[in-house]
Amino acid sequence: FNSLANPRSRKQLPPGPKPLPIIGNFLEFGDKPHKSSARLSKSYGPLISLKLGRVTTIVVSSPIMAKEVLQVHGQFFSNRPILDSARASNHVHLSIISLPVSTLWRELRKICNVHLLAARVLNANMNLRHNKVEELLCDVRKSAEAGEAVEIGKAAFRASLNLLSTTFFSMELADTNSNTVREFKETVRGFIDELGKPNLADFFPFLRKIDPQGIRRRTDFHFRKMLDLFDCIINERLQLREVSGSVKDNDILDTLIDMMVIGEEKSAHDQIDKTIIEHLLLDIFAAGTETTSSTLEWSMAELLKAPEILSRAQAELKQVIGKGNQVKESDITRLPYLQAVVKETLRLHPAAPLMVPRKAENDVEVCGYTIPKDSQLLVNVWAMGRDPNIWENPHKFMPERFLKLNIDVLGHDFELIPFGAGRRICPGLPLATRMLHLMLGSLC
Ligand code: HEM
């Protein structure tokens, strides 16, 4: 695997199926691209190239190759291709997800890492999440007492959204106005659905102007609604501050507003204004809700299919926390089996099976092949999680495997990277893992 072995002049694309004229390999790629590219990798190897319309797409599906592109050559794959839907509401120029590595992107990452999602901040607001989980349990109990089935997917989405909004806005959003909560949920769902649809304009850039499926237009509508909502929340808090003098909640919303005010005074964060904060919140809610709730839903589905695993998780909870006591985030480190259940869920059902696309900034030589400049790079996390060369009984849900393995999801162990790796690794990882363990432990 000497990535510099081949002379630069011999540009050789990684192997892959022959593309058809115009559509390229769209038919092979299909509507379950993580599964189809896993199948193709069996014939062509762990580094394959496909042509999707006009876009050269490289799919990586082994930990060694993932390390090559995300770590060894990470600096050339640190940006992302721009989805046409991200152009809605001018989001692309302010979005932490879409921005290339730049001063603004670094500033936004710093805000996330230091002010929003650092352990110190998450410890300070964990009681808010504990209260919200109690509400989830109340709803589930009520349904159980009435003999009604609980739709876990719906409950998980609601709970994830509530935990996220309570973390960022304290209690206000969820408590003051239930219409706002409902509208918020519908809007988040709306744009997540749009972002999940394959968009012809991304594969045939000349179609961008006409937005053939109307995805950018509808995304624009949802983005505007969300941005208006964040604007209202910020304005309400600013008014509250005016009424109560300098009294503050000292929560994340206050921190963000302080940054904005400092921004107006052009000191430390002189790039950060209200618009940027609103777009950052938009990304956080887009990236943090469906991912967390679908992972929780899969965990519950796997546990309900395997009662002996559920019993073992319950026994651990009973022993460590005591029956009837509330699970707290501070208990997670003492619950190795629960942690193993979450890892096993992320191995089999990563919320982003092909990670979030990256883009090659230059021609890059990897293991004797050339990944051409501007091609899109996908890392098949789903295929690596099910690779029999890496995992024993790869398709079986066996949390106990992680009790023996020293593997975590923090981006160092390339066989398990559900949150990505390298400089664009998911900044929400610390909050996502807290929410997942808290909700799953509580439901168990
Ligand atoms: C189970 C839950 C989650 C999973 C599996 C997940 C997974 C991912 C993945 C795979 C990436 C791309 C990483 C890369 O390119 O290396 C990502 C990026 C991102 N995630 Fe998450 N995520 C989750 C929850 C969250 C939460 C709760 C938040 C916010 C609080 C969040 C915010 C973000 C943001 C802002 C990015 C873009 C970072 C950038 O491009 O610089 N995620 N996530």
CATH code, 176: 1.10.630.10
Taking Cα atoms as reference points, which of 133, 175, 182, 177 lies closest to residue 156? 133
Which amino acid type is present at position 200?
L
pLDDT of residue 35: 96
| Cβ atoms of residues 112 and 118 within 8 Å | no
pLDDT of residue 365: 96
Looking at the domain assignment, is residue 292 inside a domain? yes
Known binding-site positions for heme: 426
Query: How many residues make up the chain in this entry?
Result: 444
Digit-by-digit pLDDT tens for the chain (444 residues) are: 333 444 444 579 999 999 999 999 999 998 899 999 999 999 999 999 999 999 999 999 999 999 999 999 999 999 999 999 999 999 999 999 999 999 999 999 999 999 999 999 999 999 999 999 998 898 899 998 999 999 888 888 888 888 998 898 885 454 444 566 667 778 888 888 888 788 999 999 999 999 999 999 999 999 999 999 899 889 988 888 888 766 666 789 999 998 887 655 554 455 688 999 999 999 999 999 999 999 999 999 999 999 999 999 999 999 999 988 999 999 999 999 999 999 999 999 999 999 999 999 999 999 999 999 999 999 999 999 999 999 999 999 999 999 999 999 999 999 999 999 999 999 999 999 999 999 999 999
Cβ neighbours of residue 394 under 8 Å, at least 6 residues apart? 385, 386, 387, 388
Looking at the domain assignment, is residue 14 inside a domain? no
Looking at the domain assignment, is residue 299 inside a domain? yes
The model carries a pTM of 0.94
Domain that holds residue 145: 26-443
Q: Torsion over CA of 74, 80, 81 and 87, rounded to 10 degrees?
A: -170
Name beta bridge partners: 58: 49, 377
Cβ–ligand 1 distance for 101 under 6 Å, the answer: no
Looking at the domain assignment, is residue 4 inside a domain? no
Cβ–ligand 1 distance for 282 under 6 Å, the answer: no
Looking at the domain assignment, is residue 10 inside a domain? no
Looking at the domain assignment, is residue 194 inside a domain? yes
CA separation for the pair 229, 82 (Å, rounded): 25
pLDDT of residue 10: 57
Looking at the domain assignment, is residue 15 inside a domain? no
CA of 307 to the centre of ligand 1 (A): 31
Number of domains in the chain: 1
pLDDT of residue 421: 98
Cβ–ligand 1 distance for 104 under 6 Å, the answer: no
In ligand 1, the atom with minimum distance to the C-alpha of 432 is 27
CA separation for the pair 88, 94 (Å, rounded): 11
Looking at the domain assignment, is residue 12 inside a domain? no
pLDDT of residue 146: 94
Which of the listed residues 426, 437, 440 should we mutate to test ligand 1's pocket, taking the one with most ligand atoms within 8 A of CB?
426
Cβ–ligand 1 distance for 354 under 6 Å, the answer: no
pLDDT of residue 171: 55
pLDDT of residue 1: 36
